[in-house]
Structure 1
Amino acid sequence: MARPRQSLTAQLVESMTGRIQAGDYRKGDQLPTEKELIEEFGVSRTVVREAIANLKASGLVATRQGKGAFVLDEGMRSFRISEENLSLVEEVLEALELRVAIESEAAALAARRRSPEELARIEQACAAMDAAIEAGRSTVDLDIAFHRAIAQATGNRHFLGLFNYLGEVLVPRARVPTHQYDATTLQEYLRRISAEHHQIVAAIAAGDSDAARAALRIHLGGSRDRLAQVARATA
């Protein structure tokens, strides 16, 4: 199978990682500002923010409120799935299987432990995605926010920490246009995703951990199956 072209985010992550590894940016150094990166690389603010989020998730940098991003010590770098491997659909499939295992259990815990405020946050994220779909706006960040809200509602910081890595780099449609293989429009595809989100929300609101686990597994399992179709179609 021909290797897909890297996304702009992946290209920027690769470039910044190379500079850090080469010592151009040393431990404690502040990275260039968003404006400087936008001007140097000719990319959007969204691409820059996604790249910084990926660098942060991989343990290369840390962000400080109101100050920017700073290079971390080599020894603090965390587990990281190669961005290069993520360009291959097969690798995304394997990583998505990991999300199914982790997030289905997170949904079950959220159903048992969520506070009223955390439930409201999950419901708000779901509603925000619905509004974006109807307005034709991008939903990738909103999708991530929905799943992150569930991870936060587990009451277990490790679920949130893992999701902050896995969710931001592995939301499948950010990398592969799977709706094209469903013979549907993007909006129809997103409405189906939203309907699955509503099933998850209903189970968490009802405090039904088994139903929440099953709904999340069906949701991400569907994404996995759609990506498998992409793999077969492009093989």
Structure 2
Amino acid sequence: MQIYNQILSEIESGSFKIGDKLPAERELCEQFGVSRVPIRQALSALELNGIIYSRQGEGIFVKRNEINNAQSESAIFFKSISPEDIVEVRMNIEPIIVRLAAERATEEDKEELRSTIQEMEKETMDGVYVPETDHKLHYGIAKASHNDLLINIMAAISNAMKQQEMWKFIRDRTVTRPDYRDINFKEHQLLIKAIENHNEKLAVDVMTKHMNNLYDRYWKE
């Protein structure tokens, strides 16, 4: 959060203007004296809030220099959404999103998803679960659908998950466990492979299973 707030502060103050390119991850790591994980977490949160955007192979750029009032008001709204609502929406909408992603994903989309799944693989091998990477992957799948409404719905789901304290509690007692963490990664890996191969049916089947497993892990444990 400190990194997020500092980068946001620099953007709001005009140190980085709309359209400017942010320093590379390596430079930010050196600047803040941290590893890439917290840098990527902060950048993912800034992207989800519409402050920055990434262009594969080019870098990260400033999209907007402030968080508007609507977003502040939405934070209050998202806190009121129950974990049951979140799971119900995800179980129904993410198979639709992944079907379109498998159909429409460009080479650039696939490269971005491969990069994110590699991050998740490294984190899994290091024995950690980073929720921001998970969110980034599902948001990347939504972007590959090339449907602006679905992309915004996925961003709203991610915001609801971040604001809901009970969701965090449930998540921390499930996917952070070694057995679930490994299964979680493997399911995501299968999703990306299905999208890469433009296999719509497999992508839907894997996502449906992933969402059903999500339900089972959260409510039956």
Place the TM-score, normalised by the shorter chain, in its bin. 0.5 to 0.7
| Letter of the 1:72 counterpart | N
User: After the TM superposition, which parts of structure 1 deviate over 3 Å for at least 4 consecutive aligned residues?
Assistant: 62-71, 76-82, 171-174, 177-182
Please give the alpha-carbon distance, in whole angstroms, between the structure 2 residues aligned to 1:154 and 1:66: 21
Alpha-carbon spacing, 1:99–1:80, altered in 2? closer, same or farther (3 Å): farther
Any gaps of 5 or more consecutive residues in structure 1? Answer: 1-7, 9-29, 32-44, 231-235
> Given the alignment, which residue of 93, 101, 106 partners 1:110?
101
Please give the alpha-carbon distance, in whole angstroms, between the structure 2 residues aligned to 1:167 and 1:181: 18
| Letter of the 2:155 counterpart | N
CA contact (8 A) 1:118 1:149 kept: yes
| Letter of the 1:118 counterpart | D
| Letter of the 1:69 counterpart | E
Identity, % of aligned pairs? 16
Alpha-carbon spacing, 1:121–1:71, altered in 2? closer, same or farther (3 Å): closer
Alpha-carbon spacing, 1:115–1:220, altered in 2? closer, same or farther (3 Å): same
Partner of 1:101, secondary structure, is helix
Between the two proteins, the alignment pairs up a number of residues equal to 174
1:100 paired to 2:91: yes
Partner of 1:176, secondary structure, is helix
Measured after TM superposition, the shift of residue 170 of structure 1 is 2.3
> Given the alignment, which residue of 185, 189, 198 partners 1:194?
185
> Given the alignment, which residue of 189, 195, 201 partners 1:204?
195
CA contact (8 A) 1:96 1:170 kept: no
CA contact (8 A) 2:116 2:136 kept: yes
Partner of 2:169, secondary structure, is coil
| Letter of the 1:206 counterpart | N
> Given the alignment, which residue of 120, 142, 157 partners 1:151?
142
| Letter of the 2:186 counterpart | A
TM-score, structure 2 as length reference? 0.64
TM-score, structure 1 as length reference? 0.60
Any gaps of 5 or more consecutive residues in structure 2? Answer: 2-11, 14-37, 53-61
RMSD: 3.8
| Letter of the 2:149 counterpart | H
- Structure (1 or 2) with the larger CA radius of gyration: 1
Please give the alpha-carbon distance, in whole angstroms, between the structure 2 residues aligned to 1:81 and 1:217: 27
